[in-house]
Amino acid sequence: MTIASDVKDLAGNPMTANKTWVFSTVTQPTAAPTSPASGSTDVALNQPIMASFSKDMDSATISSLTFTVVGPGGVPVSGEVTFDPVTRVATFNASPTNFIASTIYTATIASGAKDVAGNPMLLNCTWTFTTGMRTLAKPAVLGAAALFGVTGGGAGMTNTGNSTVVTGDIGTTGAATTVTGFHDSVLIYTETGANIGTVSGLIYTATTPSGPGAMASATAGINDAQTAYNNLSPASLPGGINIVTAYGGAAGELGGRTLFPGIYKATAPTTYAITGDNLTLDAQGDPNAVWVFQIGSTLTVGDTASRSVILINGAQAKNVYWQVGSAATINAVGGGTMVGTIISTTGVTFSTAGNVAITTLNGRALGLTAAVTLVNTVITVP
């Protein structure tokens, strides 16, 4: 800042020189809700509550004293607060129990939170959200099964048509004769002119012509798929909601719905279908969002028309899991796009022989005890 020398006193005498000095302003830190957004509804019962800061913050000032969540009547929620200085994100995790379903909560980051220079926030950051009934899950550990696009237990895999492509390995603990209509970069398994399926990885079987160690690789993949199936079950992963109880609509029908991340359990009936329309999975901007569908018996996608699972707002196929108690039938009429890892106790069937429309799976078809059947199917392991 400068005061020029032409400034004069009452007698008309000017300043002998300009007067100049320098100062800097202080920008106070601010906070903004990251997840869930203010006013959100159907928030998961174990949802981490997160907010980001505009400046580098003093970690010691971001704690359960400055980041609080209260329920009805201003009753505080017990929780653990953490802060990541790199991303400038503070997280509140309710503990030792989750939030209560269908309840309005208010989160507040108080002005006691300070930046690294000791400057406090001028105003509290406050927002509200309403819980639903769902709970969140973490990605399943697939182990050796992660490399497989298809496993057929001990019963093998069959392909019909010339448009089938599997990006990944396929495997069975059955004999090589249980694999028909496929080839990898080394071997051909009973292909005909009308049944040619390309495997980008390797084909593992219990007998020749598979190479040394093929049985061990197939066994490891199927065993780890079984472990993942068990870990995705209601016994190991409780809290799955009944979509009818939570959202209404037809029992067992997922088509026409938009579902946020969570655990969904098929209850009365123990089947799920995507037949009336497509199913949309909305990650709400979280690329780590996970969906687990617990299905006691069958999964049916498409019946008289092909149906698809649509991913929006950051949802990823690698984070979608279908735990199927019996068989999965995917678009018997051909066409459509399915997503996620399907682990089925009694096999998976894609399309129907004679259909030329390509059926797509961005995920895995892991049969534990029965065969997997592909008809002009493109499977890409995420």
Exposure string of 307-332, with b = 16+ CB inside 10 Å and e = fewer, is bbbebeeebbbbbbbbbbbbbbbbbb
Q: Is residue 288 part of a domain?
A: yes
Asked if residue 220 and residue 107 are part of one domain, the reply reads no
* 204-223: pLDDT as tens digits: 999 978 777 899 999 999 99
Asked if residue 166 and residue 111 are part of one domain, the reply reads no
**pLDDT of 3 higher than 90:** no
Asked if residue 164 and residue 67 are part of one domain, the reply reads no
Domain of 49 in residue numbering reads as 31-131
Give the model's pLDDT for residue 14: 81
Q: Is the model's pTM score more than 0.85?
A: yes
Asked if residue 245 and residue 272 are part of one domain, the reply reads yes
Q: Is residue 205 part of a domain?
A: yes
* 110-134: pLDDT as tens digits: 999 999 999 999 999 999 999 999 9
Q: Is residue 1 part of a domain?
A: no
Q: Is residue 167 part of a domain?
A: yes
Asked if residue 67 and residue 211 are part of one domain, the reply reads no
Number of domains within the chain:
2
Asked if residue 221 and residue 75 are part of one domain, the reply reads no
Task: Choose the weakest-confidence range: 8-17, 62-71, 155-164, 184-193.
Answer: 8-17
Asked if residue 179 and residue 111 are part of one domain, the reply reads no
Give the model's pLDDT for residue 23: 56
* 34-87: pLDDT as tens digits: 999 999 999 999 999 999 999 999 999 999 999 999 999 999 999 999 999 999
Give the residue among 173, 57, 169 at the shortest CA–CA distance from 182. 169
Final residue belonging to a domain, choices 98, 131, 164: 131
10's tokens = 């009452």
Distance CA(150)–CA(341), nearest Å, equals: 10
The percentage of residues in the chain with a pLDDT greater than 90, rounded to a whole number, is 89
Q: Is residue 7 part of a domain?
A: no
Compute the mean pLDDT over every residue in the chain, rounded to the nearest whole number: 94
The DSSP secondary-structure symbol of 245 reads: H
Q: Is residue 19 part of a domain?
A: no
Final residue belonging to a domain, choices 108, 131, 154: 131
Q: Is residue 137 part of a domain?
A: no
* 320-334: pLDDT as tens digits: 999 999 999 999 999
Asked if residue 151 and residue 63 are part of one domain, the reply reads no
Asked if residue 152 and residue 115 are part of one domain, the reply reads no
Give the residue among 363, 353, 366 at the shortest CA–CA distance from 163. 353
Q: The sheet that has 79-84: what strands, in order across it?
A: 31-35, 49-53, 89-94, 79-84
Q: Is residue 116 part of a domain?
A: yes
Give the model's pLDDT for residue 27: 86
- Give the CATH number of the domain where residue 60 resides: 2.60.40.1220
Asked if residue 231 and residue 153 are part of one domain, the reply reads yes
Give the model's pLDDT for residue 11: 81
Tokens 């200085």, located at residue:
85
Distance CA(28)–CA(43), nearest Å, equals: 31
Give the model's pLDDT for residue 22: 65
Asked if residue 259 and residue 337 are part of one domain, the reply reads yes
Give the model's pLDDT for residue 25: 60
**pLDDT of 24 higher than 60:** no
Final residue belonging to a domain, choices 97, 131, 165: 131
Asked if residue 208 and residue 116 are part of one domain, the reply reads no
Handedness of CA 70, 75, 79, 84 (dihedral sign): positive
